[in-house]
Structure 1
Amino acid sequence: MAHQEYKRGTKLIHAGVEPDPTTGAIMTPIYQTSTYVQAAPGDHKGYEYARTQNPTRTALQNALAAIENGKHALCFGSGMAATDAIIRLLVPGDEVIVSNDLYGGTYRIFTKVFAVYGIKFHFIPMDNAANIEQYINDNTKLIWVETPTNPLLNVIDIEAVSNIAKKHGVKTVVDNTFASPYLQNPLDWGADIVMHSATKYLGGHSDVVHGCVIVKDDETEERLRFIQNSCGAVPGPHDCWLILRGIKTLHVRMDRHCENGEKVARFLKTHPKVEKVYWVGFEDHPNHDIAKKQMRGFGGMISFVLKDDNMEAAVNVLKSTKLFALAESLGGVESLIGHPASMTHGSIPREERIKNGLADSLIRLSVGIEDADDLIEDLRQAIG
């Protein structure tokens, strides 16, 4: 389908998906096979071995490229596998500039895996894109951006960063997991590579681990496809099918995530025991004007700190919720509560976390699509 002709909700349901040519099945089948019979050597109808290609994965990659307004997409076994593939574009001696507030797993793979091979990472604040330029040198190859960031919801100007990167011949990578393609399309603002932990909002049901990368240019896609096939960190067809299914309801889920997120954030902001709330939609949130420019909504991710800013008070809240489940991850239909310092960001040294504003007592919420009044009541009784 010519997806450019359709609005976002229609595109999410139909992009990249065609009826099965054999049976007419409206839903893409799960091609649960490891290999494909060839009529003669080399005559394989585009499919020869499932690490290289799988029809279910092909349908998902087409859909992902369409909904991120890209040309190519590649799927991986997890968001970390997608991150790993992108950094494998580099060679020893290359340097990467990274936003200093980012997912702990990303920090870990950069500092504990790739730094060992001579790739250098500079972790810097990116709230003012103009500050980035001083860190660029002849060895700089990538600028890695999360926006909104995990877990402090910092907003980074994708267009400004991309313009600086292009000026110096550097590629911009945007981790778009928190926003999802429904709320933000980094390629439209000049980014070169977009990645997702599709485990989160794209899947949307906490039942699959998956990652993806989307690009516009053929040369980058060809290099990433070689890495995808050679290194083999690919998802199975059932996982791809689950992400395809999740994408079809992304727009209706994200609308409710945004609606509930706003109600919960405004409740927390007026709570007498809450010191600070991090939510992109507040007009006094840093770079709120940039979020309004590059996002279509403010999402369901919230972090907050209690006035009684100590671990015991935070743990009491974490243990007391009934609807908000204490768990890793985010972006599912159910609401989750987490403690970044010991969970998602436990791999970042404490001094680094504190320096970047991630307090020991910070609590992170992934606001689901339940009834907002029930979620607010749950937080009210947990906070006390």
Structure 2
Amino acid sequence: MAVTNGAHDTMTAAADAWSEAPGTAPLLEVRGLTVVYDTPSGSVAAVDNVDLTVKRGEFVAVVGESGCGKSTMLFGIAQLLSSPARIASGDVIFRGQNLVAMNDKQLAPVRWRNLSVVMQSAMNALNPVKRIGAQYADTMKAHGVRDKREIRRRSEEVLALVGIDKIHLESYPHQLSGGMRQRAMIAMALLFTPELIIMDEPTSALDVVAQRSLMLQIKELQRKLGFAVLFVTHDMSLVSHFSDRLLVMYAGREVEFGETRTVFDAPAHPYSKGLLDAFPSIRGPKVPLVGIPGSPPALSAMPKGCRYEPRCPVAYADCKEHEPALYDVDGVLARCLLYSPDHQPPASVPSNADQRKESAL
């Protein structure tokens, strides 16, 4: 097992672990993103110094408990934060441009044309007093498309892509089912065939059958059109079947990032293992589900050392005092002192390397 010293720059480790063709930069590169909420008692960081890369045509999933910073990170990447949230530091490099340094006028041509967002609740994201077709038309007009026939043609085309009859361009959002509303939102996101689509739990309000149908449609569209997806979800089954790489977040920080199958087969971080142990498998022998005890820490009262230490089954004394860096463990980045060359656990603490081998068997 190769463990790289966590003192090196995180993005360098990520680039080494998942290099593209020589000379090809990632489509999206997030560097040290910190998003804070300003409160009467001071600012608290909901996303704390997070790094992330998304390659062209890739499907990257983000998982973690509620309140771990997933959606806040997405809104920070898309530059859709509103007060009291703000970006305190970091860069979001998309297609070679730093979105953080751009104003609304500069961002306007990028949104929807190159980067689009599918919100968690389509009923809230869509205008309830406008027909679907009128909302598509508004989006295209905002990007300079004025020809009514072209607007109608493209609107019908994107609805057909997601399996909805063109007659529903005349429907209001409340006249569509939950699954149709989500697909209508995805169709809007595809109006200009962007290179990256950010999705914030688009399946959370759907039943299991509708979820799978929607996800199969997203993957088929991705295969046809070649866009990348950054996808937030609580559903580990969706992650397992549809994502290429997986980012696990806890208390505002990334704790594991790697190829999805590698993380599922042999999780490097105790929190990732805890999430998987709490998820039922439809294959293999029946095993009891084990929840993670306790709750994530409050944003205003983070532990001094490892943020997961109060809940971690393999924590030891150093975990209370030292916050771990990200370590490259066989191509997976993991934020855990069990992999630190400077903080070796006592012999009585089970090694995560052993756990990785056991879970892979």
Question: What is the TM-score when the length of structure 1 is the normalising length?
Answer: 0.31
Q: Larger % of strand: which?
A: 2
Answer 1 or 2: higher relative contact order, Cα 8 Å, separation at least 6.
2
Question: What is the TM-score when the length of structure 2 is the normalising length?
Answer: 0.32
